[in-house]
């Protein structure tokens, strides 16, 4: 077997293990899931699974990497789409589509992710991972907002980095509250509409 095929095989097996881990984490939560649970559900040998991941923590870090990459690709695709719409309209459409997924996240992996972050925090290990993901998201949104500035579409009232940080905090808060209380209780659609209006105002989006 050639090195290229061998590497592809490894990536395929790694993804299969992570898909199994996602299913188990979603069903049992992070803290109640053991490596034994994932090994048994995967149908692989213990040695095969451990050759890729030595702990559930390693698996969750890898899953976060996959999720972050997918989110970045989806946002970039939406913004770079061949469309007559302006930068803001494409960003807003992407976020509106994301709202539809928030209600599903309560029954998905999100609660397990919060367990994971809380567990790392208690161990004093969370800062570098959380800060790295935050910085990447901040750079992505600020960069997109800057595109609107460069195109003459945005005339921000405060630095785009501040607006990007506010948007990230807003989205994280809505996801967490939705998981804890439900989308109807927190008036998700109304909050999102008001939040987008505030972001649009701060960006100074060209009304024309």
In a domain, 94, yes or no: yes
- Same domain, residue pair 72 and 128: yes
In a domain, 208, yes or no: no
- Same domain, residue pair 123 and 24: no
CA distance 184 to 68: 27
The pLDDT value recorded for residue 1 is 47
In a domain, 6, yes or no: yes
Cα-flanking dihedrals φ and ψ of residue 29, to 5°? Answer: 90, 170
The pLDDT value recorded for residue 13 is 92
CA distance 15 to 19: 6
CA distance 81 to 84: 9
Domain with residue 47: its CATH number is 1.10.10.60
Cβ atoms 94, 78 nearer than 8 A:
yes
Regions of the chain short of the pLDDT cut 70: 1-5, 78-79, 81-85, 99-107, 207-208
Identify which of 151, 177, 178, 149 has the alpha carbon closest to the alpha carbon of residue 164. Answer: 149
In a domain, 102, yes or no: yes
- Same domain, residue pair 83 and 149: yes
Structure tokens at 174: 């809505």
Domain C-terminal end among 13, 29, 54: 54
- Same domain, residue pair 106 and 180: yes
Number of domains the chain is built from: 2
- Same domain, residue pair 83 and 186: yes
CA distance 56 to 52: 11
Cβ atoms 16, 51 nearer than 8 A:
no
**CA distances to 39, 138, 165, 168, 171 from 161, in Å:** 43, 7, 6, 11, 15
Structure tokens at 44: 């692989």
- Same domain, residue pair 29 and 92: no
Its domain, for residue 39, covers 1-54
- Same domain, residue pair 95 and 184: yes
Give the tens place of pLDDT for each residue, 164-175: 999 889 888 888
- The alpha helices in the chain, defined as continuous H runs, are 3-28, 35-42, 46-50, 56-80, 87-105, 110-122, 127-150, 160-181, 188-203
């Amino acid at each position: 077997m050639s090195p290229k095929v061998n590497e592809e095989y490894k990536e395929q097996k790694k993804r299969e293990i992570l898909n199994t881990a996602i299913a188990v984490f979603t069903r049992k939560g992070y803290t109640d899931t053991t490596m034994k649970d994932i090994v048994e559900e995967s149908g692989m040998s213990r040695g095969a699974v451990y050759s890729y991941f030595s702990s559930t923590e390693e698996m969750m870090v890898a899953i976060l990497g996959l999720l972050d990459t997918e989110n970045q690709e989806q946002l970039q695709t939406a913004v770079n789409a061949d469309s007559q719409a302006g930068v803001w309209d494409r960003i807003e459409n992407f976020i509106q589509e994301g709202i539809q997924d928030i209600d599903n996240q309560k029954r998905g992996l999100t609660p397990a992710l919060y367990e994971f972050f809380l567990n790392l925090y208690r161990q004093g290990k969370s800062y570098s991972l959380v800060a790295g993901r935050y910085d990447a998201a901040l750079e992505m949104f600020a960069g997109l907002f800057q595109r609107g500035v460069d195109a003459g579409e945005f005339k921000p009232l405060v630095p785009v980095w501040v607006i990007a940080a506010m948007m990230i905090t807003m989205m994280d808060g809505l996801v967490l509250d939705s998981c804890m209380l439900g989308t109807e209780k927190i008036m998700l659609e109304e909050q999102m509409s008001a939040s987008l209006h505030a972001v649009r105002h701060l960006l100074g989006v060209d009304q024309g």
